[in-house]
Amino acid sequence: MQAIVAISNLSKTYANGYNALKDVNLDIISGEILALLGPNGAGKTTLISIICGIVNASEGSVMVDGHDIVRDYRLTRSLIGIVPQELTLGAFDTVWNTLCFSRGLYGMKPNPAYIEQLLKDLSLWEKKDSVLMSLSGGMKRRVLIGKALSHEPSILFLDEPTAGVDVGLRKDMWQLVRRLRESGVTIILTTHYIEEAEEIADRVGIIDGGRLILVDDKRALMHKLGKKQMIIELDEAVDQVPAMLAPWSLELSVDGCRLTYTYDPHSSHTGIPDLLQAIGAAGLTLKDFNTTQSSLEDIFVNMLKSQQ
Ligand SMILES: Nc1ncnc2c1ncn2[C@@H]1O[C@H](COP(=O)(O)OP(=O)(O)O)[C@@H](O)[C@H]1O
Ligand SMILES: [Mg+2]
* 175-217 confidence digits (pLDDT tens): 888 988 998 999 999 987 777 888 889 999 999 999 999 899 9
Length of the chain: 308
What SS3 state is found at 239?
coil
Q: What is the per-residue pLDDT for 268? A: 78
Domain boundaries along the sequence of the chain: 3-223, 227-295
Q: What is the per-residue pLDDT for 205? A: 94
CATH of 227-295, one of 1.10.3470, 1.10.20, 2.30.30, 3.30.70: 3.30.70
Determine if ligand 1 sits within 6 Å of the CB of residue 191. no
In Å, what is the CA distance from 55 to each residue of 52, 58, 106, 141, 158?
Answer: 8, 10, 19, 23, 16
What is the rounded CA–CA span in Å between residue 171 and residue 177?
10
Q: Do domains 3-223 and 227-295 have the same CATH topology?
A: no
Nearest alpha carbon, ligand 1 atom 16 = 43
Nearest alpha carbon, ligand 1 atom 10 = 20
In Å, what is the CA distance from 24 to each residue of 163, 210, 212?
Answer: 25, 8, 6
In Å, what is the CA distance from 199 to each residue of 145, 196, 215, 267?
Answer: 20, 5, 16, 25
Q: What is the per-residue pLDDT for 295? A: 63
**Residue 230 CB neighbours (<10 A):** 20
Of all atoms in ligand 1, which is nearest to the CA of residue 159?
21
Any idea what the Cα angle at residue 11 is, between residues 7 and 17, rounded to 5°?
Answer: 160
Q: What is the per-residue pLDDT for 281? A: 94
Side-chain-side CA neighbours of residue 167 (13 Å): 1
Note if the pTM is more than 0.85. Answer: no
In Å, what is the CA distance from 148 to each residue of 19, 68, 151, 278?
Answer: 29, 21, 7, 61
> Any idea which ligand is nearest the CA of 20?
1
Q: Determine which helix (DSSP H) or strand (DSSP E) holds 248, and give its type and residue range.
A: none
Candidate of 13, 45, 207 to mutate for ligand 1, largest count of ligand atoms within 8 Å of Cβ: 45
What SS3 state is found at 224?
helix
Q: What is the per-residue pLDDT for 240? A: 94
CATH of 3-223, one of 3.40.50.720, 3.30.1490.190, 1.10.3720.10, 3.40.50.300: 3.40.50.300
In the sheet with 59-64, reading across from the earlier edge strand, the strands are: 19-29, 3-13, 59-64, 67-68
Ranges under pLDDT 50 in the chain: none
Any idea what the Cα angle at residue 99 is, between residues 77 and 152, rounded to 5°?
Answer: 40
Nearest alpha carbon, ligand 1 atom 27 = 41
Determine if ligand 1 sits within 6 Å of the CB of residue 26. no
